[in-house]
């Protein structure tokens, strides 16, 4: 459970198998999933935990959720208590078989080795287990030695930006309801999908329609978002310039990255806060919309400009350069 807790505290979903001990003393392995629940731009407040019961899966027909009501049942077999009992016994026998994936065996051995190891070794093995649990086991990543900046915050932000989450692949046929939902999502105007996904108020949506105008009211957006305008305006502008397609990531990755960026801006600063970052980002987007600039820059150049504008004053202490220099601050 420590592995699950650490994964949730980082803001990521966890899915895997957990062994539970029954009242009779037997170990039962269940497929489980846990995910953090959080409001927009805030730390997780609740954890949602779901576990599958293998003895109940057989009573539902296969297919998507909207098609459950149309599923066909064998009424004779369902009403037959003997058939139900036989199925339960066969499922119980299948569940008790010594079936274990090699990766699960490796993780179990690592966890067993942690019990008699030192603190430093335990931390290293925790990182190994985290790597083995990821779905991107064979994906390429930037080496930490090649990062010029030794600041851990900067390294985490770069890693969050270049990491692409797993793309869900549907293995079942879409029902008519699913197809209608997909068509409705495709009919949305550019940038609207992210705004609706963040549950933005009608006032915020109306204000973001003018996000590419030079006289955009950034202070109005600051009031509507509770001094957290960077995520809303950032998603609107980054999706307008197709930054997620340029970087080869999904919209959720952009949203998570902007959330981390905004958290590292000090709300107590009167000037160098996330509102200032959003204002610079909006001004940069206005310049990028000019025809002369479009002829000079490609998609990657535009993405770099927008990203630099969003995080140019991250973690700013709110002091002047002279003050930081005279106080021998590392930022100077």
Question: Strand, coil or helix: what is 252?
Answer: helix
Model pLDDT, residue 307: 94
- How far apart, in whole angstroms, are the C-alpha atoms of residue 219 and residue 206? 15
Q: What is the CATH number of domain 150-162+186-326?
A: 1.10.1300.10
Residue 10, both tokens: 């980082």
User: 244 with 191: CB under 8 angstroms?
Assistant: no
- Distances, alpha carbon 280 to alpha carbons 75, 81, 239, 276, 313, in Å: 65, 69, 17, 6, 10
Question: Which of 253, 214, 238, 229 has the alpha carbon at shortest distance from 302?
Answer: 238
| The predicted structure's pLDDT at residue 217 | 93
- Write the CB contacts of 234 (distance below 8 Å, at least 6 apart in sequence): 254, 258, 261, 278, 281, 310
Containing 211, the helix (H) or strand (E) segment is: none
Q: Are 140 and 162 in contact (CB under 8 A)?
A: no
| Residue-level length of the chain | 332
pLDDT, position 315: 86
pLDDT score of 98? 57
The beta strands (E) that lie in the chain are given as 14-21, 27-37, 46-51
Q: Which residues are annotated as a binding site for Zn(2+)?
A: 276, 312-313
pLDDT at 150: 59
Concerning whether 316 is annotated as a catalytic residue, the answer is no
Tokens of 221: 């957006």
Q: Quote the pLDDT of residue 7.
A: 72
- CA dist 195 and 209 (Å) reads 11
Q: List, in order, residues 6 or more apart from 214 with CB less than 8 Å away.
A: 283, 286
Tokens standing for 196? 């609706």
178 to each of 63, 173, 183, 185, how far by Cα in Å? 12, 9, 9, 11
Is the alpha carbon torsion for 196, 197, 203, 206 positive or negative?
negative
Contact 255, 228 (CB under 8 A): no
User: Which residues lie below 8 Å from residue 188, measured CB to CB, with a gap of 6+?
Assistant: 196
DSSP 32: E
Over the chain (332 residues), the average pLDDT of each successive run of 10 is 74 77 76 77 76 57 47 49 57 56 76 79 82 68 55 66 49 46 43 52 90 93 90 93 91 90 90 92 94 90 94 87 83 71
Residues annotated within the binding site are 276, 312-313
Catalytic residue among 95, 264, 266, 272: 272
Phi, psi of 237, deg, nearest 5: -80, -40
Q: Map out the domains of the chain as residue ranges.
A: 2-133, 150-162+186-326
DSSP H or E segment with residue 295: helix 291-296
- Alpha-carbon distance of 53 to 55, in angstroms, equals 5
Q: Is 28 helix (H, G, I), strand (E, B) or coil?
A: strand
In whole angstroms, how far apart are CA 102 and each of 114, 133, 180?
A: 19, 12, 41
Q: In 3-state terms, the chain is what percent helix, strand and coil (to 5)?
A: 55, 10, 40
**Residue 156's pLDDT is what?**
67
């Amino acid at each position: 459970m420590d592995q699950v807790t650490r994964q949730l505290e980082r803001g990521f979903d966890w899915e895997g198998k957990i062994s539970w001990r029954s009242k009779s003393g037997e170990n039962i392995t269940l497929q489980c999933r846990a995910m953090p629940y959080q409001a927009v731009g805030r730390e997780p407040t609740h954890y949602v935990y779901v576990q599958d019961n293998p003895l109940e899966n057989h009573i539902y027909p296969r297919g998507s959720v909207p098609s459950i009501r149309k599923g066909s049942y064998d009424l004779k077999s369902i009403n037959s208590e003997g058939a139900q009992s036989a199925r339960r016994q066969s499922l119980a026998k299948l569940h008790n078989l010594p079936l274990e994936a090699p990766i699960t065996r490796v993780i179990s051995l690592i966890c067993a080795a942690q019990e008699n190891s030192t603190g430093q070794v335990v931390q290293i093995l925790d990182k190994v287990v985290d790597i083995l649990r990821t779905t991107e086991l064979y994906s390429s990543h930037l080496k930490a030695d090649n990062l010029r900046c030794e600041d851990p915050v900067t390294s985490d932000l770069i890693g969050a930006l270049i990491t692409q989450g797993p793309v869900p692949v549907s293995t079942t046929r879409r029902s008519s309801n699913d197809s209608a939902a997909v068509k409705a999502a495709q009919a949305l105007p550019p940038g609207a999908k992210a705004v609706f996904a963040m549950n933005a108020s009608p006032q915020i949506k109306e204000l973001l329609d003018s996000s590419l105008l030079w006289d955009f009211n950034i202070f109005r957006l600051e009031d509507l978002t509770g001094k957290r305008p960077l995520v809303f305006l950032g998603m609107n502008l980054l999706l307008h310039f197709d930054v997620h397609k340029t970087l080869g990531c999904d919209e959720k990755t952009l949203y998570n990255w902007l959330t981390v960026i905004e958290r590292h801006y000090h709300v107590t600063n009167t000037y160098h806060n996330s509102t200032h970052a959003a204002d610079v980002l909006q001004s940069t987007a206005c310049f990028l919309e000019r025809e002369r600039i479009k002829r000079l820059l490609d998609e990657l150049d535009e993405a770099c400009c927008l990203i630099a504008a969003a995080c140019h004053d991250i973690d700013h202490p709110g002091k002047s350069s002279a003050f930081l220099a005279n106080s021998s601050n590392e930022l100077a």
